[in-house]
Amino acid sequence: MDYDVIIVGAGPAGIFAALTLAKQGVKRVLVLEKGRDIVERDRRRPPDVLCGWGGAGAFSDGKLTFSPEIGGNLGDYVEPSRLEGLLKEADETWVSHGAPGNIYGDISPKVEEMADRARLADLQLIPMRVRHIGTENCVAVLKGLKESLAGTVEIRTGCEVKELVAPENTIYGVKLSNDQMITCQYVIAAPGRSGAPWMKVQAEALGLRTEASPVDIGVRVELPAVVLKEITDVVYESKLVYYSKTFDDKVRTFCMNPFGEVVLEKNEDMVTVNGHSYAGRKTENTNFAILVSSAFTEPFDDPIAYGRYIARLANLLGKGVIIQRLGDLLAGRRSTPQRIAKGLTRPTLKEATPGDLSFVFPYRHLMGITEMLQALEKLAPGVYSRHTLLYGVEVKFYSNRIAVSKELETSIKNLFAIGDGAGITRGLLQASASGIWAARAIARRIKGEEPTP
């Protein structure tokens, strides 16, 4: 074999798998990443936004969430006490490579009081501790992680894996886009968010059992930071869950950015919206997503295609991202540049096109979004203001969840699937922990040790 282990993907899951293998003394390890090196990535270049060394988190605001219930399904494979230890270990590695020391959301009387107030508004506040790296710090931290692997792990960026090769249900290696074959004993598939379509193709070709994940579709909300300051000062990012009265759909807040800015997220064939915040500088606004979860069974089972359809519809109507005042949406009229200019909330995203989101979203989604805003108004007066800005579309695609063992091994012998691209996780810290967990299982096998009970 050319290598002991090949890791496909250099997002947090792949990076932490490589770090763990190196620490365990596994020598012949190769990391393959189809995107560019971290020093070459440019957030203005669409392919670099989600793809490259560091994965989708490179240009995010870098939130490390400590809760086992938030950021993925790793708790389905790892018992609670061990998972907490993995999350702590992964966090310590981030910190040792430059992540700031501030942690928000520690349980306190103020958090408990806020949770009680949320219940009175038909909302569930999920308490969690968060470390905020900051958009301006993520690249430097990821550079440090790469430097830690120098001399111990071989890394090839700009190197795309075409397919996983597994004759007789045992992994044999990978074939690159130039048809070069590289053999190995173990493969860790960690393709990340941008690799979800590739992972789906590989799963189908190898006969891996998968389960379709819901797709989250919604808007990014922007309003004056003072409206949510009481909440963000206590918990920084509030995870609030609501079940719509009309359709009983799960609606949730996501990625809250105090004093942050709204940004574009450009993929090859569509433009969506996102948000981030800096550790060292502030705007006058806070932004967050409101997402409606949609699951499908029969006869349709492709939630990713559905999400893409909604995003492309917004791009068709607005030639990109659409912005609308909440007051205009409720009045049944489109926003115009003049109406946006009259508003009390000044948009931080200048490239959005004033328009009408009711032409984009199905009635079911619009009801979920407006009901959630009404519920939030009871918790934080000012959210349901006519001046609140809505950007669309924000879509969170989750890979089909690959069926794996407790060690994250697929039904193909010696093929492990981890991170967001395998549908196992949905965030930086759980993705990192999944890399540690799978890498340790492989290291034990290479050393001839017994598996973890």
Quick one: pLDDT band at residue 303, thresholds 50, 70, 90? Answer: confident
Chain centre distance of CA 150: 27
Q: What is the pLDDT of residues 101-117, one digit of tens each?
A: 778 887 788 889 999 99
- Ordered by start, the domain boundaries in the chain are 3-113+128-211+400-447, 215-396
The proportion of the chain whose per-residue pLDDT surpasses 90, expressed as a percent, equals 77
Which of residues 237 and 391 earns the better pLDDT score? Answer: 391
pLDDT at 299 (0 to 100) = 85
pTM of the predicted model as reported, rounded to 2 decimal places:
0.89
Distance CA 215, CA 186 (A): 31
Mean pLDDT of 243-267: 93
Q: What mean pLDDT comes out for the span 140-144?
A: 96
pLDDT band for 93, please (50, 70, 90 cuts): very high
Q: What is the mean pLDDT of residues 115-120?
A: 96
The neighbouring-strand residues paired with 182 are 174
Mean pLDDT check: name the lowest of 173-177, 220-224, 294-298.
294-298
pLDDT confidence of residue 390: 98
- Which tops the pLDDT comparison, 38 or 236? 38
Greater confidence (393 vs 234) lies with 393
pLDDT at site 452: 64
Average pLDDT, the chain: 93
Spatial separation of the C-alpha atoms in residues 131 and 375, rounded to whole Å: 27
The string of pLDDT tens digits covering residues 64-92 is: 998 888 889 999 999 999 999 999 999 99
Confidence of residue 173 (pLDDT cuts 50, 70, 90): very high
Asked if CATH classification 3.30.1490.20 holds for the domain at 3-113+128-211+400-447, the reply, yes or no, is: no
- The residue-averaged pLDDT of 300-328 equals 92
What mean pLDDT comes out for the span 32-54?
Answer: 92
Q: Is the pLDDT of residue 453 over 60?
A: no
What is each CA distance from 294 to 44, 226, 248, 428, in whole angstroms?
31, 32, 11, 23
Confidence class for position 152, pLDDT limits 50, 70, 90 = very high
| Between 376 and 56, the higher pLDDT residue | 376
- Among the listed ranges 85-89, 147-151, 301-305, 311-315, which one has the minimum average pLDDT value? 301-305
Question: Cα(345)–Cα(277) distance, rounded to whole angstroms?
Answer: 17
Q: Are 255 and 63 in contact (CB under 8 A)?
A: yes
pLDDT band with cut points at 50, 70 and 90 for residue 294: confident
For the chain, give the longest Cα–Cα distance. 70
Q: Which two tokens stand for residue 310?
A: 């909604």
